[in-house]
């Protein structure tokens, strides 16, 4: 089932002055349970595409559909709520609220969803266990390594039970061990819980772990390939 | 959890919060202190002026205001005024006076002087006059000695035990002349009065001025200063159709009111500047805070926090700092005001001369008035409130993508 779909998506920055065609006629379909990586040279439009998929930015033309709903024409207030319940985000760095502990960071998004206190607490505990941070629940972001922070970010993204998780270069600021560790966690959640991930990356070893690799060049889809990968290579 | 978020954010950058907090505190303390000193010194001036000079309310002959001469004095009918004092609600006591300008001569010098015929007991009750003696003793009612104000005594170069000659005109052009033994020197708080006043007992003055039974003014002391206008109203009604007229201290001293207003306007100017300076200081810290946190705001909006909610949380942060600042300002301000109320600041040197010339005492007591706290507290709070709107405003207009890039 198509969980995420773009139809002839185009984005032109500065149309009036120096037009930059960041996306050209991008049409992709992502199904539930996919583990997709978007790759391509710097400036090829990866971030722009992810922003469109997440409803953070509006396209110049074309549309984005999430679970059969068009989000490109949604009003911003509705879109914020839509994101809260449907889309998980992991950014490149400084993802977390600095004054909150790991546990509070994960809980906060569920609080925004108005879940019950008990459910929030238990689910946050559980998710932190799953990303291997059961013993770092009360640590603040500054007390954690970059890899640990990104794992908390993944736990937070999952907490809201989104349809899919978007991650823009989640490993860019991590050393290779932490990067692989994060990938393992994402991979495990994908396999065990059928969580859909769409992430962009430059890192070849991360690319190697993706089952679908969409290559972008100059704002357009250059290649879109499905591959077999040996699961959890390092573990 | 939102409160937790706000509270922790406040203490996230302690230095910045402390700077903001102390700016607010400083503003509140300054504003409170300045206004309470102003109020205090104004109150003191008004009090001195009313107690020694005009009284809060005065009964006069209706012609006296235009032509303050003995010819426009009035008969002090003990029965009539006694019954007024008894029967009119809100009168604490009354003080009759007769006054006239005369020439006072000492051994070798002559000066114009204001001769005030008084009842020492009543004056003492009104303004503690007897306690202001610096030398000698006060006369009793009916006694024929004079008490001279210190400034005048030194101008005439006379002292206790010397003889004073008074020369002038009594009622209806009768000539007036008398020789008095100086029994005391008194220090008056108002410089102008201190330089020209001679006290005689009221009957002695009446005799000297050929005005037996007459007085120029009857001072009325209300039970509380707040009752002045009501009491004036009531007395006006009683005096309707008579030649008596009642005046309030405001009506009697328009120049003083004007001077005080002028002084207040200056203070207000200064406060406005203070507010602007401090306002910008606070705005500066809030601005840096906002800019530093744009990325965090962007992320919170990305993951699905509503703009209004985030704006509210950030607003609460600054609100809490404001409340904290204003309250601690109240605390420190109250402490300072009480301290300087008990130990008033005394101005020395040229400043003191200047104050005296302006007709003010060279001491600056503070007034402990709740309305000052309310007013200044509200102003500072309002200013910080307006400033606090900035981050919220910014959040409501924030471009998520731009913010997340930071
Ligand atoms: N706000 C903007 N205004 C103008 N041009 C922009 C803006 N954002 C992106 N671009 C341009 O759009 C193109 C695509 O940018 P994008 O950030 O999507 O690339 P990317 O593939 O994510 O690159 P990188 O690998 O460096 O992150 C680039 O040429 C970029 O300069
Ligand atoms: Mg990018």
Q: Please write the tens of the pLDDT for every residue from B264-294.
A: 898 889 889 988 988 898 898 889 888 888 8
User: Any idea where the domains of chain B sit in the sequence?
Assistant: 2-48+256-405, 63-242
Enter the tokens of residue B171: 């009622």
Q: Is A60 in the pocket of ligand 1 (CB under 6 A)?
A: no
In whole angstroms, give the CA distance from residue B247 to residue B57.
Answer: 6
C-alpha distance from residue B274 to each of A114, B269, B385 (Å):
45, 9, 17
In whole angstroms, give the CA distance from residue B61 to residue B74.
Answer: 6
pLDDT one-digit tens code per residue, B83-104: 888 888 888 999 999 999 999 9
Residue B141's pLDDT is 87
In whole angstroms, give the CA distance from residue B323 to residue B24.
Answer: 9
Beta bridge partner(s), residue A64? A6
State chain A's maximal CA–CA distance in angstroms. Answer: 53
Partner-chain residue, chosen from A57, A88, A95, that has the shortest CB–CB distance to B299: A95
In whole angstroms, give the CA distance from residue B336 to residue B286.
Answer: 29
Residue B402's pLDDT is 80
The domains of chain A, with CATH numbers, are 2-226 (3.40.50.300)
Q: CA neighbours within 13 Å on the CB side: how many for B75?
A: 5
Enter the tokens of residue B194: 């201190």
Give yes or no for a contact between B84 and B276, defined as CB atoms under 8 angstroms apart: no
Provide the CA B127 distance to its chain's centre, in angstroms.
16
Residue A231's pLDDT is 56
To the nearest 10 degrees (0 to 180), the angle between helices A117-130 and A102-112 is 130
Partner-chain residue, chosen from A81, A99, A160, that has the shortest CB–CB distance to B8: A99
From the CA of A51, give the closest atom in ligand 1: 18
Beta pairing class for B163-169 and B57-61: unpaired
Residue B355's pLDDT is 66
From the CA of A50, give the closest atom in ligand 1: 18
* Residue from B222, B223, B284 nearest B249 by CA: B222
pLDDT one-digit tens code per residue, B291-329: 888 888 888 888 888 899 999 988 988 888 888 888 998
- Given a cut of 60, is residue A235 above it in pLDDT? no
Q: B105: helix, coil or strand?
A: strand
pLDDT one-digit tens code per residue, B343-369: 877 777 777 776 666 556 677 778 888
Give yes or no for a contact between A161 and A84, defined as CB atoms under 8 angstroms apart: no
Beta bridge partner(s), residue B168? B102, B176
pLDDT one-digit tens code per residue, A104-160: 999 999 999 999 999 999 999 999 999 999 999 999 999 999 999 999 999 999 999
Region B143-162: mean pLDDT is 94
Which residue's alpha carbon is at the smallest distance from atom 26 of ligand 1?
A42
Q: How far is the CA of A71 from the centre of ligand 2 (A)?
A: 22
Residue B53's pLDDT is 82
Beta bridge partner(s), residue A36? A198, A212
Partner-chain residue, chosen from A56, A80, A113, that has the shortest CB–CB distance to B401: A56
pLDDT one-digit tens code per residue, B99-118: 999 999 998 899 999 999 99
Chain A residues near residue B400 by CB distance under 8 angstroms: 56-57
Enter the tokens of residue B136: 């000698």
Residues of B with CB under 8 A from a CB of A: 1, 4-5, 8-9, 12, 295-296, 299-307, 309, 400-401, 404
Enter the tokens of residue A138: 């009360």
Confidence band of B48 (pLDDT split at 50, 70, 90): confident
Contact yes or no for B305 and A91 at CB 8 A: no
Place of tokens 């000297």: B208
Region B220-235: mean pLDDT is 87
pLDDT one-digit tens code per residue, A9-59: 999 998 888 899 999 999 999 999 999 999 999 999 999 999 999 998 899
Residue B406's pLDDT is 61
Residue A141's pLDDT is 92
**∠ CA B399-A96-B8, rounded to 5°:** 100
User: What percent of chain B has pLDDT above 70?
Assistant: 97
Enter the tokens of residue A146: 């970059």
- Given a cut of 80, is residue B20 above it in pLDDT? yes
Distance from CA of B4 to the nearest CA of A (A): 9
Which residue's alpha carbon is at the smallest distance from atom 3 of ligand 1?
A13
In whole angstroms, give the CA distance from residue B259 to residue B265.
Answer: 10
- 3-class SS letters over B369-398: CHHHHHHHHHHHHHHHHHHHHHHHHHHHHC
Partner-chain residue, chosen from A94, A98, A109, that has the shortest CB–CB distance to B304: A109
Work out how many CB contacts closer than 8 A connect A with B: 65
pLDDT one-digit tens code per residue, B182-196: 999 999 888 888 999
- Given a cut of 60, is residue A183 above it in pLDDT? yes
C-alpha distance from residue A14 to each of A30, A177, B51 (Å):
29, 40, 78
Residue A15's pLDDT is 84
Q: Is A44 in the pocket of ligand 1 (CB under 6 A)?
A: yes
pTM of the complete model beyond 0.90: no
Residue A145's pLDDT is 92
Residue A51 touches partner B, C-beta closer than 8 Å: yes
In whole angstroms, give the CA distance from residue B213 to residue B324.
Answer: 64
Q: Is A14 in the pocket of ligand 1 (CB under 6 A)?
A: yes
In whole angstroms, give the CA distance from residue B324 to residue A68.
Answer: 50
Q: How far is the CA of B233 from the centre of ligand 2 (A)?
A: 82
Give yes or no for a contact between B382 and B319, defined as CB atoms under 8 angstroms apart: no
Chain B residues near residue A105 by CB distance under 8 angstroms: none
The ipTM value here is 0.88
* Residue from A91, A82, A57 nearest B404 by CA: A91
Residue A97 touches partner B, C-beta closer than 8 Å: yes
Distance from CA of A95 to the nearest CA of B (A): 7
To the nearest 10 degrees (0 to 180), the angle between helices B307-342 and B294-303 is 140
CB atoms within 10 A of CB A186: 27
Q: How far is the CA of B341 from the centre of ligand 2 (A)?
A: 66
Nearest chain A alpha carbon to B304: A84
Give yes or no for a contact between B387 and B290, defined as CB atoms under 8 angstroms apart: no
- Residue count (chain B): 406
Distance from CA of B303 to the nearest CA of A (A): 6
Enter the tokens of residue A179: 């990067």
Q: B203: helix, coil or strand?
A: helix
Enter the tokens of residue B131: 């306690």
Q: Is A47 in the pocket of ligand 1 (CB under 6 A)?
A: yes
Q: Is A19 in the pocket of ligand 1 (CB under 6 A)?
A: no
Residue B372's pLDDT is 83
Enter the tokens of residue A114: 């108005």
Partner-chain residue, chosen from A80, A91, A100, that has the shortest CB–CB distance to B404: A91
From the CA of B402, give the closest atom in ligand 1: 1
Residue B215's pLDDT is 93
In whole angstroms, give the CA distance from residue A9 to residue A27.
Answer: 6
**∠ CA B382-B295-B24, rounded to 5°:** 25
Confidence band of A1 (pLDDT split at 50, 70, 90): low
- 3-class SS letters over chain A: CEEEEEEEEEEEECCCCCCEEEEEEECCEEECCCEEEEECCCCCCHHHHHHHHCCCCCCCEEEEEECCEECCCCCHHHHHHHHHHHEEEECCCCCCCCCCCHHHHHHHHHHHCCCCHHHHHHHHHHHHHHCCCCCCCCCCHHHCCHHHHHHHHHHHHHHCCCCEEEEECCCCCCCHHHHHHHHHHHHHHHHHHCCEEEEECCCHHHHCCCCEEEEEECCEEEEEEECCCCCCCCC
Name the burial class of residue A161, with classes exposed (0-12), middle (13-18) and buried (19+) by CB atoms within 10 angstroms of its CB. Answer: middle
Q: How far is the CA of A202 from the centre of ligand 1 (A)?
A: 14
Chain A residues near residue B9 by CB distance under 8 angstroms: 99
Q: What is the DSSP string of B236-262?
A: HHHTTTSSEEEEEHHHH-HHHHHHHHH
* Residue from A147, A145, A136, A60 nearest A105 by CA: A136
Q: Is A77 in the pocket of ligand 1 (CB under 6 A)?
A: no
pLDDT one-digit tens code per residue, A65-86: 998 899 998 998 899 999 999 9
CB atoms within 10 A of CB B105: 18
Provide the CA B257 distance to its chain's centre, in angstroms.
10
C-alpha distance from residue A39 to each of A32, A36, B309, B320 (Å):
20, 10, 36, 47
Residue A162 touches partner B, C-beta closer than 8 Å: no
Give yes or no for a contact between B388 and B315, defined as CB atoms under 8 angstroms apart: yes
Partner-chain residue, chosen from A51, A57, A112, that has the shortest CB–CB distance to B305: A112
Residue B359's pLDDT is 57
pLDDT one-digit tens code per residue, A220-234: 999 999 887 765 544
In whole angstroms, give the CA distance from residue A159 to residue A178.
Answer: 21
- Given a cut of 60, is residue B376 above it in pLDDT? yes
Question: Chain A, 106-125: which have a CB under 8 Å from a chain B CB?
Answer: 107-109, 111-113
Distance from CA of B297 to the nearest CA of A (A): 9
Q: How far is the CA of A23 from the centre of ligand 2 (A)?
A: 13
Enter the tokens of residue B60: 């006069």
Give yes or no for a contact between B379 and B272, defined as CB atoms under 8 angstroms apart: no
Residue A150 touches partner B, C-beta closer than 8 Å: no
Residue A100 touches partner B, C-beta closer than 8 Å: yes
Distance from CA of B6 to the nearest CA of A (A): 9
């Amino acid at each position: 089932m198509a969980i995420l779909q773009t139809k002839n998506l185009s984005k032109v920055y500065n149309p009036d002055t120096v037009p930059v065609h960041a996306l050209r006629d991008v049409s992709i379909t992502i199904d539930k349970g996919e583990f997709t990586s978007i790759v391509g040279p710097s400036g090829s439009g990866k971030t722009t595409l992810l922003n469109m998929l997440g409803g953070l930015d509006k396209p110049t033309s074309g549309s984005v559909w999430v679970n059969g709903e068009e989000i490109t024409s949604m009003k911003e207030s509705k879109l914020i709520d839509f994101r809260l319940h449907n889309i998980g985000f992991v950014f490149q760095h400084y993802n977390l609220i600095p004054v909150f502990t790991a546990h509070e960071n994960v809980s906060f998004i569920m609080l925004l969803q108005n879940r019950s206190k008990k459910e929030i607490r238990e689910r946050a505990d559980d998710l932190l266990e799953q990303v291997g941070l059961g013993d770092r629940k009360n640590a603040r972001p500054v007390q954690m390594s970059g890899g640990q922070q990104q794992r908390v970010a993944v736990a937070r993204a999952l907490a809201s039970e989104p349809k899919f998780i978007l991650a823009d270069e989640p490993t860019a600021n991590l050393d290779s061990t932490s990067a692989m560790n994060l990938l393992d966690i994402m991979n495990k959640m994908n396999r065990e819980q059928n969580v859909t991930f769409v992430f962009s990356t430059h890192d070849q070893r991360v690319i190697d772990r993706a089952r679908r690799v969409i290559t972008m060049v100059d704002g357009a889809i250059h290649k879109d390939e499905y591959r077999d990968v040996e699961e959890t290579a390092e573990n | 959890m939102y409160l937790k978020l706000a509270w922790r954010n406040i203490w996230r950058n302690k230095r910045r919060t402390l700077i903001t907090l102390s700016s607010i505190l400083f503003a509140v303390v300054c504003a409170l202190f300045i206004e309470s000193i102003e109020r205090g010194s104004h109150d003191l001036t008004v009090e001195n002026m009313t107690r020694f000079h005009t009284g809060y309310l005065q009964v006069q002959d209706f012609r006296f205001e235009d032509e303050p001469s003995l010819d426009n004095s009035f008969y002090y009918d003990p029965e009539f005024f006694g019954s007024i004092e008894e029967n009119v609600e809100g009168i604490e006591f009354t003080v009759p006076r007769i006054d006239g300008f005369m020439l006072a001569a000492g051994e070798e010098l002559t000066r114009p002087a204001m001769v005030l015929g008084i009842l020492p007991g009543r004056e003492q009750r009104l303004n503690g006059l007897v306690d202001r003696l610096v030398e000698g003793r006060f006369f009793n009612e009916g006694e024929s000695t004079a008490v001279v104000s210190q400034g005048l005594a030194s101008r005439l170069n006379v002292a206790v035990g010397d003889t004073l000659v008074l020369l002038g005109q009594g009622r209806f052009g009768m000539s007036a002349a008398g020789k008095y033994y100086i029994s005391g020197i008194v220090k008056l708080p108002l410089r102008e009065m201190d330089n020209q006043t001679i006290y005689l007992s009221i009957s002695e003055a009446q005799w000297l001025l050929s005005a037996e039974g007459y007085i120029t003014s009857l001072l009325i002391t209300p039970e509380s200063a707040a009752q002045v206008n009501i009491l004036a109203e009531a007395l006006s009604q009683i005096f309707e159709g008579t030649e008596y007229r009642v005046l309030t201290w405001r009506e009697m001293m328009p120049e003083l009111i004007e001077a005080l207003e002028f002084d207040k306007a200056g203070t207000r100017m200064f406060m406005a500047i203070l507010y602007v300076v401090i306002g910008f200081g606070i705005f500066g810290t809030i601005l840096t805070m906002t800019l530093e946190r744009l990325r965090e705001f962007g992320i919170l909006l990305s993951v699905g926090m509503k703009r209004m909610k985030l704006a509210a949380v950030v607003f609460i942060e600054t609100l809490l700092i404001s409340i904290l600042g204003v309250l601690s300002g109240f605390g420190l301000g109250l402490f300072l005001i009480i301290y300087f109320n008990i130990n008033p600041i005394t101005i020395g040197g040229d400043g003191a001369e200047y104050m005296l010339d302006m007709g003010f005492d060279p001491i600056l007591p503070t007034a402990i008035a709740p309305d000052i706290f309310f007013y200044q507290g509200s102003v500072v709070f309002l200013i910080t409130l307006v400033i606090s709107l900035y981050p919220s405003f910014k959040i409501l207009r924030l471009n998520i993508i731009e913010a997340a890039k930071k």
